[in-house]
């Protein structure tokens, strides 16, 4: 038996005991399974076929505390045969579970001992794999950060480093960045600080066998997808759905993450552009509810241009005298909402009236009043552009101020938390 072969451990134990054996990871996803010995039940068959078990089975297992076990124990399942569960650990870390099926009425002491020894061997292998994986992830993450550096020389070196890693197939590969952002604020729960990275790792599982690398911190992450063809909407949805689901399980009281999809590029030295586009698209998803939780750069319209402005420039540009006069005149924002709806529906009177649930005559009256207050004519192209662009700017500027205020509140909370931990 090879010291690095998890499958050999499973097969050797199964042949010796003449029982089916399996090893799962900590999330109860199958890593290795032996052949059947006539003791298989529907759960075993489903696990081998799907490489996992349904939540209605795994949740009760976790509720029984198996994640804290340090010695083998027996679990009784409502819809399957009893199992011997031996935690796979090394250096105190839980790395998985080894399972035996009770097909003979009760487990013998020798089976407990054999399962514990096999779990110990598996733990050594999985711990070694974990260290190698973590080192590889750390190196790839460092290269990714350099790949989008403002410094051209650093970016060029990152391109060479990635090529040296030989991660991508020799055939033509296209690269797409997916940015993941979380809303922050003083009420942000502490679990969010570790949830995002774990959730993004889960999302990477949806792109196999394609290459996907990631970089993450507390509130932002991004993925570099490397595929022979640009990702489809269905493939992007598979990634975002898995990230959302895992994030919700880890931080159930936290806000949902939002996503920005950058342009697809054909060369590694163009990834920085896709990264900028993805980040701006994610920013749009954070600031503009109408954009949705998954924003594609190519579909942002005017927001793609406006979001390139700095916060100060955006605030200055949002000071449109005509709209300020309208807002001062319109205490209940009726005219402002009417004008926004009018523009959102391309100036179509019928659809605007239907959206506002008012008569067309009322709409005409309101639009006439808008022209009187602003001094602008909606039939004039320049006047119309000024008002429409001004409304977009004001929406973005207000949302950005709120977002920055939340970031500042979050920073103050974290500073206070560090002070409390430091003590007097």
Q: Indicate if 203 and 273 belong to the same structural domain.
A: yes
Q: Residue range 349-368: average pLDDT? A: 93
pLDDT per position as a tens digit, 361-377: 999 999 999 999 999 99
Q: Indicate if 207 and 100 belong to the same structural domain.
A: no
**Domain finish residue from 300, 326, 343:** 300
Q: Indicate if 284 and 338 belong to the same structural domain.
A: no
**Interatomic CA distance for residues 162 and 149, integer angstroms:** 14
Q: Indicate if 180 and 295 belong to the same structural domain.
A: yes
| Residue 161 is assigned to a structural domain of this protein | no
Q: Indicate if 10 and 108 belong to the same structural domain.
A: yes
**Domain finish residue from 276, 300, 324:** 300
Residue 286 vs residues 177, 294, 400: alpha-carbon distances, Å: 17, 10, 9
Q: What is the pLDDT of residue 125?
A: 93
The CATH number covering residue 348 comes to 1.10.10.2840
The total domain count for the chain is: 3
Q: Indicate if 106 and 225 belong to the same structural domain.
A: no
pLDDT per position as a tens digit, 268-322: 999 999 999 999 999 889 888 788 899 999 998 888 888 887 778 877 877 888 8
Q: Which domain holds residue 380?
A: 311-414
Sheet of strand 93-101, all strands in order from the earlier edge strand to the far edge: 30-33, 21-24, 93-101, 83-90, 73-75
Q: Indicate if 325 and 404 belong to the same structural domain.
A: yes
In what helix (H) or strand (E) does residue 75 lie, and over which residues does it extend?
strand 73-75
| Residue 136 is assigned to a structural domain of this protein | no
Q: Indicate if 180 and 294 belong to the same structural domain.
A: yes
The CATH number covering residue 292 comes to 3.30.70.270
Q: Indicate if 124 and 75 belong to the same structural domain.
A: yes
| Residue 144 is assigned to a structural domain of this protein | no
Extract the runs of DSSP E, i.e. beta strands, from 247-389: 258-265, 294-296
pLDDT per position as a tens digit, 33-56: 999 888 888 888 888 888 888 888
**Interatomic CA distance for residues 281 and 150, integer angstroms:** 19
Of 250 and 145, more confident: 145
- The whole model's pTM is what? 0.64
| Residue 241 is assigned to a structural domain of this protein | yes
| Residue 77 is assigned to a structural domain of this protein | yes
pLDDT per position as a tens digit, 92-132: 889 999 999 876 667 889 999 999 999 999 999 999 988 88
| Residue 81 is assigned to a structural domain of this protein | yes
Contact 335, 329 (CB under 8 A): yes
Q: Indicate if 288 and 182 belong to the same structural domain.
A: yes
| Residue 148 is assigned to a structural domain of this protein | no
| Residue 76 is assigned to a structural domain of this protein | yes
């Amino acid at each position: 038996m090879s010291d690095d072969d998890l499958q050999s451990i499973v097969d050797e134990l199964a042949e010796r005991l003449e029982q089916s054996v399996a090893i799962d990871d900590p999330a109860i996803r199958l890593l290795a399974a032996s052949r059947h010995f006539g003791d298989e039940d529907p759960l075993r068959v489903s696990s081998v076929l799907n490489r996992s078990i349904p939540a209605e089975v795994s949740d009760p297992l976790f509720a029984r505390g198996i994640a804290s076990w340090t010695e083998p124990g027996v679990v009784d399942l409502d819809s399957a045969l009893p199992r011997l569960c031996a935690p796979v650990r090394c250096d105190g870390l839980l790395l998985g579970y080894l399972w035996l099926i009770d097909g003979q009425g009760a487990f013998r002491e020798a089976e407990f001992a054999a399962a514990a020894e096999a779990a110990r061997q598996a733990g050594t292998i999985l711990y070694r794999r974990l260290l190698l994986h973590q080192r590889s992830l750390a190196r790839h993450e460092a290269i990714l950060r350099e790949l989008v550096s403002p410094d051209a020389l650093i970016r060029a070196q990152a391109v060479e480093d990635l090529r040296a890693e030989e991660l991508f197939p020799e055939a033509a590969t296209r690269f797409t960045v997916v940015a993941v952002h979380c809303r922050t604020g003083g009420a942000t729960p502490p679990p969010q600080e570790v949830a995002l990275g774990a959730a993004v790792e889960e999302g990477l599982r949806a792109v196999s066998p394609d290459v996907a690398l990631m970089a993450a911190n507390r509130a932002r992450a991004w993925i570099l997808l490397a595929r022979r063809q640009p990702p489809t909407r269905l493939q992007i949805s598979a990634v975002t759905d898995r990230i959302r689901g895992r994030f919700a399980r880890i931080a159930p009281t936290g806000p949902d993450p939002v996503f920005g999809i950058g342009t697809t590029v054909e060369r590694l030295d163009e990834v920085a552009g896709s990264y900028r586009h993805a980040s701006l698209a994610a920013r749009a998803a954070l600031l503009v509810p109408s954009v949705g939780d998954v924003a594609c750069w190519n579909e942002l319209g005017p927001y793609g241009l406006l979001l390139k402005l700095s916060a100060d420039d955006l605030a200055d540009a949002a000071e449109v005298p005509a709209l300020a006069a309208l807002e001062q005149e319109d205490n209940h924002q009726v005219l402002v909402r009417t004008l926004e709806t009018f523009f959102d529906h391309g100036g179509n009177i019928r659809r605007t009236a239907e959206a506002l649930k008012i008569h067309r005559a009322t709409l005409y009256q309101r639009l006439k009043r808008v022209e009187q207050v602003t001094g602008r004519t909606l039939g004039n192209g320049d006047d119309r552009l000024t008002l429409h662009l001004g409304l977009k700017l004001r929406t973005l500027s207000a949302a950005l101020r709120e977002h920055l205020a939340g970031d500042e509140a979050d920073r103050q909370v974290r500073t206070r938390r560090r002070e409390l931990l430091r003590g007097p």
